[in-house]
Structure 1
């Protein structure tokens, strides 16, 4: 299978040996960050530095003039990726024969939430999540769609992967995170991720719910959770949500949030394709995705049937287990059968495997993990993350990629 590795521009800029090292590993495609959230990252092989601190979410290229006067708008990076760092890295990688696809993080932006607090998700208690833009708000949606088109289709780029193209919720891994004291479970996470901003309150009303009553019901349902009583996970994941707030309310919230996510995904993919149409008609658009539609996070919850009809494929988290591939693979097979056995242009089901031992990855079992993912329908691999991994981890990656299939 084709294997692509994730990379940051600062892994390449200032390190002339980086492209050749990737080629030596057997990497011929890179997913390169073009718009990214705040982070602190190791650069264990860079000749100039060992730690890069990206202080805020930023685009890693000069944002276009069309953003002038708009709010919200993307922020340029600071000294961690000055100027057109993405473009500089893309050129260096391209010169080494490595195909570059952009990596675009959308609904995850703490600085946006701090400077424009009204854009953030608001929970049933009135707490704002500054890292999580509410994707139901018209101005925020317009920003995310325009950002997707601009950040995805950079010069020298052959495709894109859109991360966080959907709802972001409570789970975040915020700086010095301190929210693990009470185990929420999946149902609790869902309830704590429901948004009650003005747009979402209007959306719930359109589904026949009283937003104030819904917020009160959510708070009441969570009270036993705060006391450590649990929340009925034994009833099944979605069944636990229904038990906590009632089946009708649960269905109405899911309908509203599902519509917001699906229409954003449709608009973002269409905008990227329109931006690439003239010069790059075969531009590939993938989404980082989870097959459970109500899930939140970097791997946005999607309906497999819907997303495979919209995008060219998905990138699925498979570290530890490739089971999340199954719903996408089954849907792809149904789609193929509906075409009377004719294959389309080739749906991409990319298994995302962490190869950094210190981040829970297992580069030593990469070959076996890739084989298992292929059995469950994976057509490609994504390796997280070539810039963060140690030399010993990368040596194991090289060994795995050099094995005959």
Structure 2
């Protein structure tokens, strides 16, 4: 079974290119998925040069000037990008016979959002409180995403792994209001001019949907009891009405058309797109205990139409962030049915906490991926877990029939 290890550019810079690749190859992985474009973060890095690593928005390579010439948006560039770490990694992986995948975070960039607030999502109250969330419907964002995809593909990678190429859920640091899942979903919908226009073009009364969301969420913020239960189309229809559900569903056209543009651009540059759906992370990131609905069935909440994308995208990344091997198998099976059995399904597992507490559990999940028809297992992420946790990978791969 094909496999790859997710690696941050900071890992390679800190530990040395050969050291990282020696360990990855020694674990039996067939390739490296490198963070070519990432978002700002602060991560505990157990074996990093610094044990608390500060990451910044931007690309770890110098973007080709011709791709962004005349565009309003261009990616921030990391301080050491001029040293061409991605080019050095490409050369080293080729010499070792390893695949190289370029992992890029597309529409999550607070640097760009703060510089250009109008390109970020706008909630039902008219506020732009999520500077890191770029709206997939904004024309400038769409041009940026297409150019960024070409830029990553030109690094000579076997595939471009696209993270955050869809809408995101509502995120915040603090709240003393007990928002229910449906209230948070409504609060996270974007009602910028471009989103509302696209919905209206599909026959949706966008202004009525916005007003209803503001009424419901505003009531909860004023002290009304939050909605109970998980977000489903039926529950949302009963809670917020059919116009709101129609508005939420209309977002899939925005995402589908954007992903189609990006996939075509990557193909023209001689690579292929791996569409990374964040639904599995939304459901299980914190504790590895995802809510009952399978990720493939809930992807619509991020504007993702897997049936439509199955006709457009050659490869899909499934974030199987679950402790239970049977749940992993169920998620993989649902994805294969949704996108079509002729599409590649790459399943991302975390070899350590909170999902995996032993080599046996990781082995069971790798076997589950294979039994459910997954084509590849990727492990996230090299710099975030201790070496003994990484050492579970070769046993899991070698014992998989």
2:55 is the counterpart of 1:60? no
Give the corresponding residue for 1:133: 134
2:236 is the counterpart of 1:230? no
Give the corresponding residue for 1:348: 344
What does 1:22-101 align with in structure 2 at a 5 Å threshold?
22-46=24-48, 48-55=49-56, 57-66=57-66, 67-79=68-80, 83-101=83-101
Give the corresponding residue for 2:11: 11
CA distance in 1, matches of 2:25, 2:235: 48
How far is the alpha carbon of 1:307 from its aligned partner? 1.6
- Residues 222-266 of structure 1, C-alpha deviations (whole Å, 9 max, x = no match): 2454436232427x6112221222113412x13431110110011
Provide the secondary structure at the position in 2 that maps to 1:17.
Answer: helix
Alignment TM-score, normalising by the size of structure 1:
0.84
Q: Go from structure 1 to structure 2 and tell me whether the alpha carbon gap of 1:189 and 1:376 turns closer, same or farther (over 3 Å shift).
A: farther
CA distance in 2, matches of 1:313, 1:285: 6
How far is the alpha carbon of 1:51 from its aligned partner? 3.7
Indicate conservation of the 8 Å contact 1:103/1:163, yes or no. yes
Give the corresponding residue for 2:155: 154
Provide the secondary structure at the position in 2 that maps to 1:267.
Answer: helix
Indicate conservation of the 8 Å contact 2:205/2:243, yes or no. no
Indicate conservation of the 8 Å contact 1:42/1:388, yes or no. yes
Q: Bigger CA drift: 120-129 or 145-154?
A: 145-154
CA distance in 2, matches of 1:249, 1:137: 21
Give the corresponding residue for 1:330: 337
Q: Bigger CA drift: 392-401 or 139-148?
A: 392-401
Indicate conservation of the 8 Å contact 2:249/2:300, yes or no. no
- Residues 278-300 of structure 1, C-alpha deviations (whole Å, 9 max, x = no match): xxxxx33211124234223xxxx
Give the corresponding residue for 1:143: 144
Indicate conservation of the 8 Å contact 2:121/2:191, yes or no. yes
Gapped regions of structure 2 (runs ≥ 5): 280-295
Give the corresponding residue for 1:374: 370
Give the corresponding residue for 1:2: 2
Provide the secondary structure at the position in 1 that maps to 2:275.
Answer: strand
CA distance in 1, matches of 2:357, 2:369: 14
Q: Bigger CA drift: 371-380 or 138-147?
A: 371-380
Provide the secondary structure at the position in 2 that maps to 1:133.
Answer: coil
Provide the secondary structure at the position in 2 that maps to 1:288.
Answer: strand
Q: Go from structure 1 to structure 2 and tell me whether the alpha carbon gap of 1:347 and 1:330 turns closer, same or farther (over 3 Å shift).
A: same
Provide the secondary structure at the position in 1 that maps to 2:383.
Answer: coil
Give the corresponding residue for 1:244: 239
Gapped regions of structure 1 (runs ≥ 5): 277-282, 337-345
Provide the secondary structure at the position in 2 that maps to 1:324.
Answer: helix
Indicate conservation of the 8 Å contact 1:355/1:383, yes or no. yes
Give the corresponding residue for 2:282: none
More strand by share: 1
Q: Which of 226, 238, 248 matches 1:254?
A: 248
Give the corresponding residue for 1:280: none
2:190 is the counterpart of 1:195? yes
Root-mean-square deviation over aligned CA pairs: 2.4
Q: Go from structure 1 to structure 2 and tell me whether the alpha carbon gap of 1:94 and 1:49 turns closer, same or farther (over 3 Å shift).
A: farther
CA distance in 2, matches of 1:250, 1:20: 50
